[in-house]
Structure 1
Amino acid sequence: MSDKDSLYYPLNISLFAFTLQSGTDLDSPTAINEPPQSFKDKYEKLLKNNYDRIFDFDNNPFPAFRQQFPDSHNYELLNANKSGRQFFSFSSREKNPNPLNPKPLYRLLLYPQKLGDSYALLINIFRPQDAGFDTVNLNEIAKFNPNQCLSLSDDPNFIGQTFLITAYLNIAEPDKPEALRPHAEKLLKPLLGDTCPEFYQAEKFLDSYLLEFSRAKTSQTRVLVLFYFSDFTSEQLQKIYFDLPELFLYYHKIAHVYQMSRRYAKELDKLIQSEIASKSQLPDSLDLEVLKTNLKDLLKTTPKYTSEFRKLENAGNTININTVNYQRTLKRLQAQVNDRFELFSRFVEREIQTFQLQIQADLNYSKPGSQLLDQAIASIRGLVEIEQAENAEKLQNTIQAVGTGIGVGVGVAGIFATSYPLIEKPWRLPSLQHPFLPPHPFISAIVLSFVVGGGLGLFAWYITKHHLDRKLRQKK
């Protein structure tokens, strides 16, 4: 492309950015309730920190928000002191070199709204149209977005953003819109840098050509480049320009929720593979402690699994609701300008249908995991109860056998002890004293009672325990 091809006029950059104002994000149970002033402070800080050299914000303060907000889901945030749309514009300090009637070199338009549970911010920076004095070359494009600051992506409640870039090109109208891709990419490189998504599609739009750079499955940023080849395009775009935030909001809600659903599906799959499948397998040895550990782990997994499954279900429902809103808004805009909006309609036919089918497939895949989890918990809980009952019976049998043995031993020892009334009688033998005899007959009685009683007690314990263990095995 020659230098002549690198001139754009009059370049117009619009940022449509969206954040949640109220409600609950699917990722967090914490309720969101951001006051309007907080939202106002954010975009004022963004503009003051990056555009103060171009616009005199000190002498031209930002407009105040309205004091009373209507009882409505959708309303404009700026003071309602005039009829029509409530936006505010700033003019740059620098003017173009037109000797007859110089115009500001840059203009900035600000249009904040509340749409449902979200804030919608439109920031429009453009070169005012002035024949012969409104061209923009490549070296100047970066000034429209200094430090590539145009974004609310750092906001914790950020949903997504769409850039709409319009300009005339000093070239002949091509046969196919895809032929304009090199011109669009050359424009976007200094404007957005590496933050620009990859090229996705191009289509005829309002008698001109619209190119889309996006990845709805993974990116929260979408870029639309509209190259004019007819004044009719600009006139028609003005009719729907202030309605575009609503259409783009539903686009980003759908894309944002789908992107979150991928995390939920991944977490469910992880729980199924690493927790449910492994813990639900019975060990080779039914060790009671191992069973208890597995049961505790599965009981901890249940609320996690249920939570992620419900999030995935809610994601599908949210996409369905916003699809209806998107289609209704799109139909209204189509009627306003009598255009088919093929590029925007394709989002429903391609991405949204794919999103819905994917989430339903994830739910179908995850449902058996919930059933397996319940079955595993019930099975292991039953085994634990059986093991505990058997261990209790074994302990009872052991106590009974030991008691029997002790009873027999003590009884026999008592008999032997009472069979020797010799406590006060010494051993009486003929003249020789046997060297191996104890010195007294009482000691012999005690020793013999322990030996005979203990032996019979052990025998009684063994017979009793063997009998009870055989009965326990027969029960199984």
Structure 2
Amino acid sequence: QNVTVPASQFSRLNPQGCLLASNIQPSLGQTLVLYGEPVGTPEEDRKLANACVDAFFQGSDQKPQFMASGQLFGSPIFAYDNGKEKPTEQCHLLVCLNRHPETLKLVEKTSLSFFNLLCCRSKILFAYHEARWCYRETRGLYGQLEQEVTDFKELATQRDTRLEQLKQKLTEMPSKTFDYAVYLRDLEDHKTAIATNAENYDYWLEKIRESSLKDDNIEFLANFLNQRTKLFQRQIQTNLNYLKPGQQLFDQMLGSIRGIVETEQAQQEKRLERWIASVGIGLAVSGISSQTAAKPVESIITQLYPKQSLDCPKAGVTPCLIYSVVFVLFHVGFGFITALIFGRIMDRGGK
């Protein structure tokens, strides 16, 4: 036997807020459906629906706000939403007041279509939330990489430390550019997910319409598809259009850094090779000159000290020591000058 109860009794359906999103943490959001058979006049239906919502969320600050109304299977239906973006905080509420003898039968007939429709709705909202998160993360990376571009331009005037700083950037930047590319890919995936679920939403909406009565009005369900979903898709595409050029810029900068590092390292290696070659030539020339028959050092010392014998060790410690020092300095100096000349020649030839 049916019993008439006041709308305030709806609070018993949600004791201590056990069905609130904050308690159940729904991963894809939440849709609640309240059903009742009103005893008042149709003009009071909106007021009755509001009273049911007030009672259900009694003592809570998470009460959703009225969004739209319509007519489903001959009975009024009211939609409420708290407007939260985060899935675990979302609450979507439908209040259906039975005023037609066919309502229950048609609801039962289309229950699967309704269930799938609401699932598609939740998936669309979830994908958009994830897309917004990806955008914020990518935007943060965009700011960091823009600073890298500015720093890169300033390195042109810091030749002494430029190579080491470029190597440091070459170590840090690839991970950032990789994360940037991953976020862009995820944005594309979320855009595709919204488009796919929008098609499914439209399919199940048509299934519901097939069972609708002549005077039914479920435009509020179609508006979610035609307005909010399309807005989500446009927003994601706008974000992609804004962020994609940044990926190309950062890839080019990374390539430029690699090119500069490779070029400067190659130049350093060439300079080292030339230096080694010059030293080798100098040592070779020094060794050859020390073995020449002309003995230029002995000739010079003999001319400077004609009475001094150079027959070591008979000549004594001092003459022999002077001879040895001058001998070494002469040939080393000769080799050094030769190495310097050849080094200059190789430097000019390498330019």
What TM-score, normalized to structure 2?
Answer: 0.79
- List aligned pairs for 1:9-408, cutoff 5 A: 130=2, 133-136=3-6, 138=8, 140-150=9-19, 158-168=27-37, 172-174=41-43, 183=51, 185-190=53-58, 193-205=60-72, 206-215=74-83, 217-219=85-87, 220-227=90-97, 237-241=107-111, 243-275=113-145, 278=148, 281-282=152-153, 283-284=155-156, 285=158, 287-338=162-213, 339-408=216-285
Q: CA deviation at 1:163?
A: 0.5
Q: CA deviation at 1:144?
A: 1.1
Distance (Å, rounded) in 2 between the aligned partners of 1:217 and 1:347: 15
Alignment of 1:422 onto 2:299: no
Provide the secondary structure at the position in 2 that maps to 1:194. Answer: coil
Q: 1:448 aligns with which of 316, 320, 326?
A: 326
Provide the secondary structure at the position in 2 that maps to 1:142. Answer: helix
What value does the CA root-mean-square deviation take over the aligned residues? 3.3
- Provide, for residues 45-96 of structure 1, a one-character-per-residue CA deviation record: whole Å limited to 9, x for no partner: xxxxxxxxxxxxxxxxxxxxxxxxxxxxxxxxxxxxxxxxxxxxxxxxxxxx
Aligned residues: 329
Q: 2:249 is matched by which residue type in structure 1?
A: L
Distance (Å, rounded) in 1 between the aligned partners of 2:63 and 2:345: 82
Provide the secondary structure at the position in 1 that maps to 2:28. Answer: strand
Check the 8 A contact 1:417/1:449 in 2, yes or no: yes
Check the 8 A contact 1:334/1:340 in 2, yes or no: no
Check the 8 A contact 2:76/2:98 in 1, yes or no: yes
Provide the secondary structure at the position in 2 that maps to 1:361. Answer: helix
Check the 8 A contact 1:412/1:452 in 2, yes or no: no
Q: 1:426 is matched by which residue type in structure 2?
A: A
Distance (Å, rounded) in 1 between the aligned partners of 2:44 and 2:54: 20
What TM-score, normalized to structure 1?
Answer: 0.60
Check the 8 A contact 2:38/2:45 in 1, yes or no: no
Distance (Å, rounded) in 2 between the aligned partners of 1:174 and 1:263: 43
Q: 1:197 is matched by which residue type in structure 2?
A: P
Distance (Å, rounded) in 2 between the aligned partners of 1:176 and 1:349: 27
Higher RCO (CA-CA < 8 Å; seq separation 6+): 2
Provide the secondary structure at the position in 2 that maps to 1:404. Answer: helix
Instruction: Write 1 or 2 for the structure with the bigger share of strand.
Output: 1
Q: 2:78 is matched by which residue type in structure 1?
A: L
Q: Where does the alignment leave 5 or more consecutive residues of structure 1 unmatched?
A: 1-102, 104-129, 428-438
Change (3 A) 1:157 1:373: farther
Q: Where does the alignment leave 5 or more consecutive residues of structure 2 unmatched?
A: 302-309
- Provide, for residues 118-145 of structure 1, a one-character-per-residue CA deviation record: whole Å limited to 9, x for no partner: xxxxxxxxxxxx2xx330353x433212
Provide the secondary structure at the position in 2 that maps to 1:223. Answer: strand
Instruction: Write 1 or 2 for the structure with the bigger share of helix.
Output: 2
- Provide, for residues 15-66 of structure 1, a one-character-per-residue CA deviation record: whole Å limited to 9, x for no partner: xxxxxxxxxxxxxxxxxxxxxxxxxxxxxxxxxxxxxxxxxxxxxxxxxxxx
Which residue of 1 is the match for residue 306 of structure 2? Answer: none
Check the 8 A contact 2:131/2:190 in 1, yes or no: yes
